[in-house]
Structures are given as C-alpha cells and as structure tokens.
Amino acid sequence: MTGDGPSGRLANFDHGGSFDLDVTQREILDQADRFGRNELYPLANRMDAEEWWPEEAFPKMGEAGFFGITVPEEYGGVGMDLFTSGLLLQAFGRWNHALALSWVAHENLCLNNIYRNANEAQRKKYLPDLCSGKKIGALGLTEPGAGSDALGSMRTTAVRDGDHYVLNGSKIYITNGPVADVLLVYAKTDKEKGAHGISAFIVEKDFPGFEVAQKLEKMGYRGSQTGELVFTDCRVPVENLVGEENRGVSIVMSGLDIERAMISPLCLGVAERALELSIDYAKTRKQFGKPIGSFQMVQSMLAEMYVHVETMRTFSYRGLAVAEGLESGSGPRGDIHMLTAASVMFAAQTTNKVLDLGVQIHGGSGYIWESEINRLFRSTKLLEIGAGTTEVRKMIIAGELLRDMK
C-alpha cells in the first residue's frame, strides 16, 4: 500500500534492515560489558547510597577509549558511529545506570553536539580533553519555568557586549552540572523571535558569573550529578558562539532526536540486568521446599520480562540506525523524528513494566532500598520524563502521523 497517508509513509519508510549485531558490534558490546562489570559495577552501591561522584571513573573510561565514539581520531576520538555509542551505553546501563547516564550526557549531549555543530577552532580547543575524560561535559537547556516548552519559555538571555556575550538566567535538572568543566548552553539572543532567537554557547566552569547554585538529590540514578546552574552577567567570548546567532533551534532539535535514540539502549541495559537478576533469584529463592522458578506464576512473569526486553532491543537498535541519518543542524525530519520519539517512549514505558515484574518476583527483598533490583526500579521514572515527557513524545508521533490532515 502506498500513498501520502500514514499507512503508505510507514510502509515505505526504510527502517534500517536487520538488527542482528555483526561480529565487530558483538565484540564491542562484550568489551564494554566487561569494563562495566569490572570497573563501573563496584562503584554503583556507594553512588546510590551517598549520591557520590567517583572522580576517577571518567579518566578511566577515556583511557579505555570509551569517549568520543563519533569523533574523528584527529580530535582525540575513536571515529566510529552512533550505533556503536548506543551499544556502549547499553552495556554500561547493565552495570551502573547512574554512571551510564552521566556518560551519555557527556558523550552525546555535549561532546557529540560540539563536534557536529562547532567550528574548527572550537573542535580543536575542546574535543581532545572531552574525549580523554580529562574534562566533563554537560548540556544546559531546561530551565525552572521551561521544561517541556524548553524553547518557547526560555528566559536565559545572551546580549552582545563587544568581544563577549553576557548571559543571565538559570538552568535546572542539568545532568553533570555540578561536576562539568565544559557546558553547551542555550540562551535567547533575540527575545522577539521566540524559539528562533536562540543561540548556543560553549561555557567553561571558570567563566566569571557562572556558578552551580545547588546540587539536587534524586530518587533514582543517584550519584549521577544533577544541579541548578546560574548565570549572572556571565561573560562568554564571542568565539564560543556555536553556529550562527539565532540559529540554535536547529542544533537543539537535531540533538534531541539523537538524544532520544540514545536513551533507548540505556533503558535496554537496565531491563536486561533486571531480567538477569530475576532469573537468578527465581532459581535460588526457595518456598514450599522448591525454587520459586518452578511456579507457573513466576515463570509467567519471567516470560513477560523476556518478551519485553527482546522487543525493546529490536526497537532500540532500529532507532539508533535511523538516527545515523541526521546531519548537522538538520533539525527534525519526518519519520526519523517520529521513530526516535516512539523508540524512547516504548523503551521507557517497557522498562517500567520490566522492573515492576522484577520487584514482584523478588518480593520483600525487592522492596528493600539497598537491593539492586530496588535501585533499578527507582531509576525507571526518569526516562519517561527526560528528553521530552511521554506526553510530548506522543504529540510528536501523532503530529507526524497526522501531518497532512486538513
């Protein structure tokens, strides 16, 4: 069936073919999994208990070659692709989802965005230290009064003053904010133009007028540092403007599509670990003289979890594959925009279902704060909110499906 309607557009859309991993991709996933298990998993308990940030983690990840995946070697990167980044995130999410969240905020929201949109001088100045893990990156978009309407309600301003822009305003719920050395920050350079008067800037933590107002303590993903950032007459050199003035919206929108594609494998990693823990528990926990895995109701829950995880895997890989087609500054593009929103919506909601079943299988022990399944359960809600809420994702999908409606 063809045509201009949703059925025709969906039927004709190239979703990227098969999503079985090839030999190289499996090796990369296995290597990242081993690193996550050996280096990141031992940090997870303390991070969750104390909202502790392990300062040695990023340099270790950089030394192992786990930063700058999409960045060419000339800037200190690895020179691979977005799909590979997603595989690393999946593996890290299995073993330390909090650190995985900080990794993707650094790698995707900051580092990859700078590479895709910055000029040559900016790339040479900032990318090598971000790729090595010597410096930590973050993205500043969300504001206290601007969440889902981040562009339209943005109040942070940037006014040209000679060789600088002067930034005033605040950003909130910023992953890596309290520990970031380099931030990609959005501000309005022309308030009259609304969302089309936004520009992007690279801000260093030592710039005068920048401060971390507070570190925020979260329900889940604890240890991944989140904070409120304040700009009070913060002076940013003109050469730190990314792209053209008032053209930041295209950077935001194309970046959001990639961010949504990248969040899905994080959900997948969390769900995979929950299934693994639940299988192990079902084999070893005994009631009425035999393992609870021998009871049909527990088997039913495990079967549901498995189906959810495998379906999520296919959809997540599909989203990563199509997001590869986004070009620098291209903004949302029809089916890609719709599919990345659908991918993360499905992954986030399905992870919630998987963890709900996982805690049920664990029973009372799953309700205890210190248990690993509980730590995973507390993480589920964030990714139904971050990078656009579930409701925003539905609006994107429906908007694309009904685009030709009169």
Question: What confidence tens digit (pLDDT) does each residue in 370-393 have?
Answer: 999 999 999 999 989 988 889 989
- For residue 149, is pLDDT > 80? no
Last residue of a domain, one of 242, 270, 302: 242
Is residue 131 a contact partner of residue 138, using CB atoms and an 8 Å limit? Answer: no
What is the Cα–Cα distance from 201 to 158, expressed in whole angstroms? 9
| Inside any domain, residue 7 | no
Average pLDDT over residues 327-336: 58
Residues 6+ apart with CB under 8 A from 357: 278, 301, 302, 304, 305
pLDDT of residue 10: 35
Are 89 and 62 within one domain? yes
One of 107, 228, 259, 384 is an active-site residue; which one? 259
What is the Cα–Cα distance from 295 to 173, expressed in whole angstroms? 43
Residues 386/391/396/397 CA torsion (nearest 10 deg): 120
| Inside any domain, residue 84 | yes
- pLDDT confidence of 342, banded at 50, 70, 90? very high
End-to-end CA distance of the chain: 22
pLDDT of residue 291: 96
pLDDT of residue 147: 67
| Inside any domain, residue 31 | yes
228 vs 330, more confident: 228
Average pLDDT over residues 5-13: 34
Average pLDDT over residues 122-146: 95
Q: What is the CATH number of the domain that holds 217?
A: 2.40.110.10
pLDDT of residue 153: 82
- For residue 129, is pLDDT > 90? yes
Domain count, the chain: 3
Are 213 and 252 within one domain? no
| Inside any domain, residue 327 | yes
Domain that holds residue 19: 12-136
pLDDT of residue 257: 82
pLDDT of residue 324: 80
Are 315 and 394 within one domain? yes
Average pLDDT over residues 102-125: 96
227 vs 149, more confident: 227
pLDDT of residue 329: 43
Are 323 and 358 within one domain? yes
* Whole-number average pLDDT of the chain: 91
pLDDT of residue 2: 34
- pLDDT confidence of 195, banded at 50, 70, 90? confident
pLDDT of residue 9: 32
Are 322 and 348 within one domain? yes
Average pLDDT over residues 177-203: 94
Closest to 108 (Cα-Cα) out of 210, 16, 218, 184: 184
| Inside any domain, residue 3 | no
Are 310 and 345 within one domain? yes
pLDDT of residue 264: 95
User: Known catalytic residue: 259?
Assistant: yes
pTM (two decimals): 0.91
Question: What confidence tens digit (pLDDT) does each residue in 279-309 have?
Answer: 999 999 999 999 999 999 999 999 999 999 9
E-only strand ranges, 70-209: 137-140, 157-161, 164-175, 182-188, 198-204
| Inside any domain, residue 5 | no
Q: What is the CATH number of the domain that holds 86?
A: 1.10.540.10
- For residue 146, is pLDDT > 80? no
